[in-house]
C-alpha cells in the first residue's frame, strides 16, 4: 500500500465532519474558520512505543490514547476541542494494525466531535503525534499560574489506577481478572475530563491535567503560581482496586507519584466554592488540600505526620516498588 492509499483508506474518511472545516485532508494545508468571538487553544503530544505505551499495546488503544492525552490538555485549559492533525510514524503499513488504530482514534473523535484535518505519514519506529486545536472564550482559560493562598486543591476521578495498570502489565502485582481489566483500561483509555474543565471556567483559579503524577503536576501549579501547598493523604480519591489490592502506603505512592491518570488537578478560591458545587456533581471531584504561602508541597497523614512519596512523578527508567496489601477479611 502506498502512503497515499493508506491516508485515503484510514484517515480521510469516516471521521466527524464539521462545518468549520473548509478544506480537510488532501491538499497542502487544511483551511478552517475560526469563530470570531473565540481564542484558539493549541496543544500537541507525542506517544512513543515502549516509552509512552508498552510494546504490544492494542492498536485501537494506541489510537484512543493518542487523542485522549491531547483532549486532556484541552480539558485542563477549559477549552472545547475542534480539529486535530496526526503524524503517524510506523515501521510498516499493516492493514489490520492501521484499521484498528484509526478505529480507536475515531471512537474518541466521534464522542467529542473532533475532525481529523491533516497530518503526515512516515516510516520509522512506532510514534504517534496528535496536535489539537480548540476554542475558548477570551480570558477564561484555566492556567497554571492563578492559584492563591487559601484556595482549595481538588482532583477529578480517582488517582493511581493507570500506574497500577502498568504495574500489573509488568507483572509486579497480580490482580483478579476484572480488576486487572479496570486498571488496564484506565491506563490505555484515559477519560479526558472535558466537561469538568469547561465547567470550571470562571470558577477555578488554576488547573493542570495529571499526566506525570499528582505531586509532579501539582508542583507545576505551585511553581507557576509562586505558592506552596499541603495535601491530606486520607482525602486522596482511591478506587477499590487500589484500596483492596495495595497497602495504604503503596496506594498513596501510586496516587501521588504514578502517571497516566489524566485526571484534572485544580484550585478554587473559597469565594467560588458554592459555584463549584453548582457546576459539578459532588462525586466528580474531591478536595485533597489547600494552597499555602510556605513554598513546597507537604503531604500529611491524619496524625499530621509528613509522608514522603517514593516516586515523585513519572521518570523514565525508575522503578516503583509495589507492596501488596496484607490479607484481611473483606469488609467492603
Positions that interact with ligand ADP (CB under 6 A): 7, 11, 25-28, 86, 88, 116, 118-121
Cβ(30)–Cβ(20) below 8 Å: no
The distance of closest approach from Cβ of residue 118 to ligand ADP in the complex, given in angstroms and rounded to an integer, is 3
Instruction: Please say which residue, 66 or 268, places its beta carbon nearer to ligand ADP.
Output: 66
Q: Are 85 and 28 in contact (CB under 8 A)?
A: no
| Cell triple for 10 | 484510514
How many helices (H) does the chain have, and how many strands (E)?
10, 12
CB closer to ligand ADP, 11 vs 285: 11
Q: Of 148, 245, 264, 243, whose CA–CA distance to 200 is shortest?
A: 264
For residue 289, the partner it binds in Mg ion, ligand ADP, none, with Cβ less than 5 to 8 A by kind, is none
Indicate the residue among 31 and 174 with the shorter CB distance to ligand ADP.
31
Residue 54 beta carbon to ligand ADP: minimum distance, rounded to whole angstroms:
23
Closest approach of Mg ion to the CB of residue 120, in Å: 4
Determine the 3-state secondary structure of 163 from DSSP.
helix
Residue showing the smallest CB distance to Mg ion in the complex: 120
User: Residue 88 binds which one of ligand ADP, Mg ion, none, with CB within 5 to 8 A depending on kind?
Assistant: ligand ADP
Nearer to ligand ADP, 4 or 234 (CB): 4
> What is the bridge-based pairing of β-strands 228-232 and 152-156?
unpaired
Q: In terms of DSSP H, where are the helices of the chain?
A: 3-10, 59-77, 95-112, 161-169, 177-188, 194-199, 214-225, 240-245, 248-257, 273-279
Q: Facing residues of 53 across strands?
A: 49
Candidate ranges 85-93, 105-113, 118-126, 259-267; the one touching Mg ion (CB under 5 A): 118-126
**3 makes contact with Mg ion (CB under 5 A):** no
> Could you tell me the smallest distance in angstroms from the CB atom of residue 87 to Mg ion?
9
**CA-to-CA distance for 201 and 156, rounded, in angstroms?**
15
Contact 109, 70 (CB under 8 A): no
Q: How far is the CB of 49 from ligand ADP (least distance, A)?
A: 16
Residue 110 lies near Mg ion (rule: CB under 5 A): no
Residue 120, interface with Mg ion (CB under 5 A)? yes
Instruction: Tell me which of ligand ADP, Mg ion, none is bound by residue 27, counting a contact when its beta carbon lies within the kind-specific cut-off of 5 to 8 angstroms.
Output: ligand ADP
The residue among 4 and 170 lying less far from Mg ion, judged by its C-beta, is 4
CB of 65 to ligand ADP, least distance (A): 16
Are the C-beta atoms of 126 and 89 separated by less than 8 Å? yes
Give least dist CB 252 to ligand ADP, A.
41
Which of 153, 155, 125, 173 minimizes the C-alpha distance to 229? 153
Residue placing its CB nearer to Mg ion in the complex, 110 or 120:
120
Distance CA 120, CA 31 (A): 16
Piece of the chain touching Mg ion by CB under 5 A; list 86-94, 103-111, 115-123, 207-215: 115-123
Q: Please, which residue, 12 or 323, has the CB nearer to ligand ADP?
A: 12
- Closest to 115 (Cα-Cα) out of 53, 186, 196, 32: 32
In the complex, which residues of this chain contact Mg ion (CB under 5 A)?
120
Amino acid at each position: 500500500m502506498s502512503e497515499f492509499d493508506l491516508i485515503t483508506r484510514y484517515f480521510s474518511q469516516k471521521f466527524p465532519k464539521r462545518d468549520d472545516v473548509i478544506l480537510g485532508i488532501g491538499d497542502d494545508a487544511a483551511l478552517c474558520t475560526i469563530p470570531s468571538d473565540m481564542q484558539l487553544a493549541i496543544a500537541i503530544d507525542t506517544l512513543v512505543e515502549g516509552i509512552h505505551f508498552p510494546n504490544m499495546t492494542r492498536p485501537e488503544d494506541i489510537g484512543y490514547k493518542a487523542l485522549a492525552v491531547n483532549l486532556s490538555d484541552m480539558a485542563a485549559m477549559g477549552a472545547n476541542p475542534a480539529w486535530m492533525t496526526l503524524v503517524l510514524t510506523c515501521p510498516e503499513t499493516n492493514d489490520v494494525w492501521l484499521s484498528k488504530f484509526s478505529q480507536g482514534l475515531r471512537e474518541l473523535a466521534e464522542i467529542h466531535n473532533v475532525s481529523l484535518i491533516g497530518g503526515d505519514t512516515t516510516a520509522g519506529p512506532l510514534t504517534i503525534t496528535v496536535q489539537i486545536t480548540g476554542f475558548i472564550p477570551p480570558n477564561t482559560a484555566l492556567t497554571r499560574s492563578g492559584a492563591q493562598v487559601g484556595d482549595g486543591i481538588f482532583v477529578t476521578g480517582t488517582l493511581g489506577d493507570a500506574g497500577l495498570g502498568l504495574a500489573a502489565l509488568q507483572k509486579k502485582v497480580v490482580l483478579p481478572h476484572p480488576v486487572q481489566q479496570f486498571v488496564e483500561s484506565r491506563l490505555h483509555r484515559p477519560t479526558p475530563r472535558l466537561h469538568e474543565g469547561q465547567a470550571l471556567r470562571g470558577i477555578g483559579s488554576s488547573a493542570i491535567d495529571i499526566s506525570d503524577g499528582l505531586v509532579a503536576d501539582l508542583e507545576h501549579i505551585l511553581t507557576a503560581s509562586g505558592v506552596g501547598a499541603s495535601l491530606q493523604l486520607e482525602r486522596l480519591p482511591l478506587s477499590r482496586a487500589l484500596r483492596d489490592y495495595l497497602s495504604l502506603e503503596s496506594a498513596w505512592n501510586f496516587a501521588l507519584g504514578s502517571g497516566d491518570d489524566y485526571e484534572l488537578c485544580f484550585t478554587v478560591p473559597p469565594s467560588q466554592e458554592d459555584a463549584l458545587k453548582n457546576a459539578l456533581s459532588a462525586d466528580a471531584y474531591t478536595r485533597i488540600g489547600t494552597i499555602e504561602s510556605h513554598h513546597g508541597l507537604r503531604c500529611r497523614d491524619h496524625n499530621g505526620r509528613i509522608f514522603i512519596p517514593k516516586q515523585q512523578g513519572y521518570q523514565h527508567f525508575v522503578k516503583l516498588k509495589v507492596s501488596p496489601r496484607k490479607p484481611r477479611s473483606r469488609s467492603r
